[in-house]
């Protein structure tokens, strides 16, 4: 099958994205890193981050080698696996890890430069931090499209089939490298999340609450570890996470397009949208700027200008693309708009619930007047309420995109196979997910900007820069908390759409390999048990990641208390704390605690399939998708609100820094830390990893499961 010449725009666009990322990186490196003290602190953070990442990649490499060998056995010995799976799995993991590495490397160089730029003006600080975030955004989309295009070219050359059947084989095979990306992303998110929150919680509980010293005070032994954690968790982990979301949504839509009968057009449209999204994201990134003494509303408006402009431009360009690529099927364009509008709507309501410029977070801050218990109760309540809007938005996007793309209530035909209308409707849902993530280049930039601003504030504090500089970095940091929550909302929302597309892809793959139609009714006990197991997995996974943060944080609390007690002169600035010991404890704790939750996402779907068969797996995927989505929104928004309630008080409300209200808010923030940065964002990866694991192991499950013996 000849590849249309227009397809070559895809790898070309990936090169353009990577080129702009490199240009932004070089421009950032040309900025001054400030004083000798600032360079010294930045060097410590950079060394700690790279040391952790090296250790994490060693552990992950072992897991990947073992799994790849297992896949090779299933493919070449047992004959129940696609022979391309071992290679696809490895490349998916490699590119996901690479995206995180480049983003973190950029962030560790940008923080001190952002602090130095903030000495000059708020706008210069914002531009340095945002352009550094843009490096992450463009690297993710650039590497994602490069990986997809290379794999398509290779498979097009080697797959022995023709016509529509060849497209189906290629697309279903490409789904398997999504497992590699998801596996790497889960390790990165969980491990990085444990590291950053262990350091953050330990530093806050002993430093702020017990010792009464400011955040990022150089006297706190956990300060460097806290800054390292911002990079390994919120940058490297997040980069791997959203790389997986981006690639997963495109691959799932690929598969649905092939099955839905759209042919080459069904494959070309998602990547064409991604290409347009890259161009629009680059344009939008140049529009982000602000004025001195800007309020939080003004700063939010600055970022909205860039992100909304990119979304509007992408929506405009999507119309002619859809018309020409799909021969006038403009119902699919409506589905794309659903994704774009849904993504912006999720971002807005996430901002509403988490930003201290709105009533919910301000009321949460007021709850600190009666102590830490009431602010914790208020945060949980706020997070639970916030699920309403996100779920309604996703539900509306699913229904509108399904029917607009040609879907109908007639799902199966007389033979028990999915109807053409049903497959077309599902393609609409998949393309809505692609639309939601089409401008990921700039959406991720607003997310990755946050850790850079946070680290800049830490460097400003530890370097003894004037209070005016810290006020600017605090303003940028508070904005970053909101944008980070918005980025997580995008990732979670797209995960729900992608998970649905992957679930249907799994059913299609099983239907092709099996002669017996699946009974997916809720009256089937296998289906019902699978649903319960999926719901259980969400809660057990959340419990394990929360417990991991607790265990690691306890070791930091003990160490910080020991140093305050045993190292004379720390509080008087006469002796330096032992920063390295806290960095070492966080590294060991994260690497040790991340393995079990990550492997759970692989073991449970496989075990469910081997016992309950493919029907039980479908139930599991449905259960984990629904409960995981709701739990992720709850945790992410509650954590973001607690964090910004604390910053709202630190801005001079309810007694300001050092007050009893502030101490209560710090306790609330420490509860929210693992919510928003460990468990919550990891759940959206869990949802998709369960689906891709099920797809990869579909041949094994069909051949060997206990239900076949009954």
- Reduced 3-state DSSP string for 505-549: HHHHHHHHHCCCCCCCCCCCHHHHHHHHHHHHHHHHHHHHHHHHH
pLDDT digits (tens, 9 = 90+) for 255-268: 777 777 777 888 88
pLDDT digits (tens, 9 = 90+) for 544-570: 999 988 888 888 888 888 888 888 888
Separation in Å, CA 68 to CA 72, 78, 191, 667: 6, 14, 21, 43
Contacts of 572 (CB under 8 A, 6+ apart): none
pLDDT given for residue 359 in this prediction: 92
User: Half-sphere exposure of 101 toward its Cβ, with a 13 Å CA cutoff?
Assistant: 15
Q: At what angle do helices 525-566 and 595-650 cross, to 10 degrees?
A: 60
Question: Phi/psi zone of residue 698: left (φ > 0), alpha (ψ -120 to 50 degrees), beta?
Answer: alpha
Is pLDDT of 630 > 80?
Answer: yes
Share of the chain above pLDDT 70, in %: 96
DSSP states of 44-56? HHHHHHHHHHHHH
How many whole angstroms separate alpha carbon 29 and alpha carbon 33?
9
How many whole angstroms separate alpha carbon 701 and alpha carbon 74?
11
Please report, in angstroms and rounded to a whole number, the separation of the first and last CA atoms in the chain: 44
pLDDT given for residue 457 in this prediction: 82
How many whole angstroms separate alpha carbon 444 and alpha carbon 24?
15
pLDDT given for residue 710 in this prediction: 65
Mean pLDDT of the chain: 85
pLDDT given for residue 380 in this prediction: 95
The model's confidence at residue 571, banded by pLDDT at 50, 70 and 90, is: confident
Contacts of 42 (CB under 8 A, 6+ apart): 33, 108, 109, 111, 112, 459
Is pLDDT of 1 > 70?
Answer: no
DSSP three-state, residue 28: helix
User: Nearest Cα to 459, choosing from 41, 35, 109, 36?
Assistant: 41
pLDDT given for residue 71 in this prediction: 86
Can you list the alpha helix ranges (DSSP code H) found in 260-285?
A: 263-285
How many whole angstroms separate alpha carbon 490 and alpha carbon 138?
16
How many whole angstroms separate alpha carbon 40 and alpha carbon 37?
5
User: Half-sphere exposure of 498 toward its Cβ, with a 13 Å CA cutoff?
Assistant: 35
pLDDT given for residue 486 in this prediction: 67
User: Nearest Cα to 260, choosing from 320, 315, 331?
Assistant: 331
How many whole angstroms separate alpha carbon 99 and alpha carbon 251?
18
Is pLDDT of 485 > 70?
Answer: no
Contacts of 574 (CB under 8 A, 6+ apart): 568
For 579, phi and psi rounded to 5 degrees? -65, -35
Weakest mean pLDDT among 304-318, 486-500, 580-594: 486-500
Burial of 58 (0-12, 13-18, 19+ CB in 10 A): exposed
Q: Which helix (H) or strand (E) holds 643?
A: helix 595-650
How many whole angstroms separate alpha carbon 402 and alpha carbon 396?
10
User: Nearest Cα to 191, choosing from 101, 60, 96, 62?
Assistant: 60
pLDDT given for residue 225 in this prediction: 82
Contacts of 454 (CB under 8 A, 6+ apart): 227, 230, 234, 477, 480
pLDDT digits (tens, 9 = 90+) for 395-416: 999 899 999 988 888 877 776 6
DSSP states of 386-435? HHHHHHHHHHHHHHHHHHHTT--S--B-TTSPBPHHHHHHHHHHHHHHHH
The answer to whether 292 and 469 are in contact (CB under 8 A) is no
DSSP three-state, residue 270: helix
Tokens of 350: 């996430």
pLDDT given for residue 482 in this prediction: 66
The model's confidence at residue 643, banded by pLDDT at 50, 70 and 90, is: confident
Question: Phi/psi zone of residue 371: left (φ > 0), alpha (ψ -120 to 50 degrees), beta?
Answer: left
Give just the sign of the alpha carbon dihedral 109, 578, 229, 602: positive
Name the residue with tokens 């914790």.
376
Share of the chain above pLDDT 90, in %: 19
pLDDT digits (tens, 9 = 90+) for 177-190: 778 888 888 888 88
| Distance of alpha carbon 123 from the chain centroid | 27
Is pLDDT of 2 > 90?
Answer: no
Is pLDDT of 231 > 70?
Answer: yes
How many whole angstroms separate alpha carbon 110 and alpha carbon 476?
14
pLDDT given for residue 201 in this prediction: 79
Is pLDDT of 513 > 80?
Answer: no
pLDDT digits (tens, 9 = 90+) for 122-153: 888 888 888 888 888 899 899 999 988 888 88
Task: Report which of residues 2 and 429 the model is more confident about.
Answer: 429
pLDDT digits (tens, 9 = 90+) for 247-258: 888 888 887 777
Contacts of 373 (CB under 8 A, 6+ apart): none
Question: How many C-beta neighbours within 10 Å does residue 8 have?
Answer: 12
How many whole angstroms separate alpha carbon 202 and alpha carbon 578?
15
């Amino acid at each position: 099958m000849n590849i249309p010449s227009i397809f070559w725009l895809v790898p070309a666009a990936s090169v353009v994205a990577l080129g702009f990322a490199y240009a932004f990186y070089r421009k950032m490196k040309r900025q001054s890193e400030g004083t000798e003290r600032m360079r010294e602190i930045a060097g410590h953070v950079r060394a700690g981050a790279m040391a952790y990442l090296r250790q994490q990649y060693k552990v992950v490499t072992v897991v990947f080698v073992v799994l790849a060998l297992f896949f090779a056995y299933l493919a070449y010995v047992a004959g129940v696996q696609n022979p391309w799976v071992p290679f696809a799995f490895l490349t998916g993991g490699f590119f996901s890890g690479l995206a995180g590495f480049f983003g973190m490397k950029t962030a560790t160089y940008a923080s001190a430069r952002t602090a130095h730029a903030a000495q000059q003006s708020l706008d210069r600080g914002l531009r340095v931090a945002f352009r550094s975030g843009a490096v992450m955004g463009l690297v993710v989309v650039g590497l994602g499209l490069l990986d997809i295009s290379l794999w398509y070219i290779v498979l097009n050359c080697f797959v022995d089939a023709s016509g529509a059947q060849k497209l189906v084989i290629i697309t279903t095979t490409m789904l398997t490298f999504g497992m590699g990306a998801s596996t790497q992303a889960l390790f990165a998110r969980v491990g990085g999340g444990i590291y950053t929150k262990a350091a953050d919680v330990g530093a806050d509980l002993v430093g702020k609450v017990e010792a009464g010293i400011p955040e990022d005070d150089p006297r706190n032994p956990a300060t460097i570890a806290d800054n390292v954690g911002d990079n390994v968790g919120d940058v490297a982990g997040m980069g791997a996470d959203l790389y997986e979301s981006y690639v997963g949504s495109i691959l799932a839509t690929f598969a649905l397009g092939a099955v839905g009968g759209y042919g080459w057009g069904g494959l070309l449209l998602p990547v064409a949208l991604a290409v347009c999204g890259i161009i629009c994201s680059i344009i939008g990134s140049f529009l982000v700027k602000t004025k001195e003494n800007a309020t939080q509303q003004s700063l939010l408006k600055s970022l909205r200008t860039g992100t909304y402009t990119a979304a509007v431009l992408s929506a405009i360009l999507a119309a002619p693309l859809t018309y020409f690529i799909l021969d006038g099927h403009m119902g699919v364009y409506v589905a794309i708009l659903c994704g774009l509008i849904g993504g912006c709507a999720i971002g807005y309501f996430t901002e509403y619930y988490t930003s201290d410029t709105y009533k919910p977070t301000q009321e949460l801050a007021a709850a600190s007047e009666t102590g830490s218990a009431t602010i914790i109760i208020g945060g949980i309540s706020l997070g639970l309420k916030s699920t309403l809007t996100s779920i309604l938005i996703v539900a509306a996007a699913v229904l509108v995109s399904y029917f607009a793309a040609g879907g109908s209530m007639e799902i199966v035909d007389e033979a028990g196979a999915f109807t053409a209308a049903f497959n077309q409707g599902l393609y609409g849902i998949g393309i809505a997910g692609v639309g939601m993530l089409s401008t990921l280049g700039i959406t991720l930039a607003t997310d990755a900007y946050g850790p850079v601003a946070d680290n800049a504030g830490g460097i400003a504090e530890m370097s003894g820069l004037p209070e005016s500089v810290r006020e600017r970095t605090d303003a940028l940091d508070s904005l970053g908390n909101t944008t980070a929550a918005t980025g997580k909302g995008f990732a979670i929302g797209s995960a729900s759409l992608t998970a649905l597309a992957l679930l249907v892809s799994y059913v299609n793959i099983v239907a092709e390999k099996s002669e017996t139609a699946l009974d997916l009714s809720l009256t089937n006990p296998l289906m019902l048990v699978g649903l319960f197991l999926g719901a259980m997995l969400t809660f057990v996974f959340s419990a394990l990641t929360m417990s991991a943060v607790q265990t690691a944080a306890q070791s930091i609390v003990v160490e910080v208390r020991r140093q305050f007690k045993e190292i004379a002169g720390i509080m008087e600035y006469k002796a330096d704390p032992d920063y390295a010991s806290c960095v070492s404890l966080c590294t060991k704790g994260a690497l040790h605690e991340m393995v079990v939750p990550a492997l759970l996402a692989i073991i449970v779907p496989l075990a469910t399939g081997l016992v309950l068969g493919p029907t039980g797996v479908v139930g599991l995927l449905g259960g984990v998708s629904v409960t995981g989505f709701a739990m992720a929104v709850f945790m992410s928004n509650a954590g973001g609100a607690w964090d910004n309630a604390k910053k709202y008080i630190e801005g001079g409300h309810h007694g300001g820094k050092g007050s009893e209200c502030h101490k209560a808010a710090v306790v609330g923030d420490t509860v929210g830390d693992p919510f928003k940065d460990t468990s919550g964002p990891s759940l959206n990866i869990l949802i998709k990893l369960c689906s891709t694991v099920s797809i990869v192991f579909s041949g094994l499950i069909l051949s060997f499961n206990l239900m076949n013996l009954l």
